Amino acid sequence: MKRNVTAAIGIAGMMVSIAACGNGGTGSDKGGADAKELTVWLTVDAQNNWPQLVKAADAAVQKQHPGLRINHEYYGWPDKNTKLDAVLATDKVPDVVEMGNTEMLGYMVKGAFAPVDPAKFDNSSAWLDGLKASVTYDGKTYGVPYYAGGRVANWRKDVFAAAGVKSVPKTYQELTADLDKVQKKQGDTFSAWYQPTRDWYAAMSFVYDAGGAIAKQEGGQWKGSLSSPESVKGLTEFKNVVDKYMHGDKTKDESDRYIVYGQGKSGMIFGAAWEGATAADPKNDKTGKLKDSLENFVMPGPSGKSMPVFLGGSDLAIPVKSTAQGLAAEWINAFTGTSGQKGLMAKGNLPNNKTDLATLKNDPATAVPAIAAESSWFVPMAPGWGQVEKEQVLQTMLQDIGTGKKSVEAAAKEADAAIDKVINTK
- For residue 283, which amino acid is it? K
pLDDT at 28: 42
pLDDT at 45: 93
pLDDT at 42: 98
DSSP state at residue 66 = T
Residues 6 or more apart from 194 whose CB is under 8 A from it? 246, 248, 257, 260, 261, 265, 266, 267, 268, 269
- For residue 141, which amino acid is it? T
In the sheet where 96-100 sits, what is the strand order? 69-75, 37-43, 96-100, 312-317, 144-149
CA dihedral sign, ordered 143, 273, 49, 125: negative
pLDDT at 364: 85
Q: How many residues does the chain have?
A: 426
Q: What is the pLDDT along the chain (426 residues), one digit of tens a residue?
A: 334 333 332 333 333 333 334 344 444 446 666 789 999 999 999 999 999 999 999 999 999 999 999 999 999 988 899 999 999 999 899 999 999 998 999 999 999 999 999 999 999 999 998 899 999 999 999 999 999 988 999 999 999 999 999 999 999 999 999 999 999 999 999 999 999 999 999 999 999 999 999 999 999 899 999 999 999 999 999 999 999 999 999 999 999 999 999 999 999 999 998 899 999 999 999 999 999 999 999 999 999 999 999 998 999 999 999 999 999 999 999 999 999 999 999 888 999 999 999 999 888 888 999 999 988 999 999 999 989 999 999 999 999 999 999 999 999 999 999 999 999 998
pLDDT at 30: 61
Q: What class is the 151-309+391-422 domain?
A: alpha beta
Q: 37-149+312-377 domain in CATH 3.40.190.10?
A: yes
pLDDT at 8: 32
Give the span between the Cα atoms of 392 and 36, in whole angstroms. Answer: 45
**Residue 279: what are its φ and ψ, rounded to 5°?**
-65, -35
Say if residues 114 and 233 touch (Cβ distance below 8 Å): no
pLDDT at 423: 97
- Whole-angstrom CA distances from 173 to 169, 180, 181, 242 are 8, 11, 13, 16
pLDDT at 24: 42
CATH 3.40.190.10 intervals, the chain: 37-149+312-377, 151-309+391-422
Reported pTM = 0.85
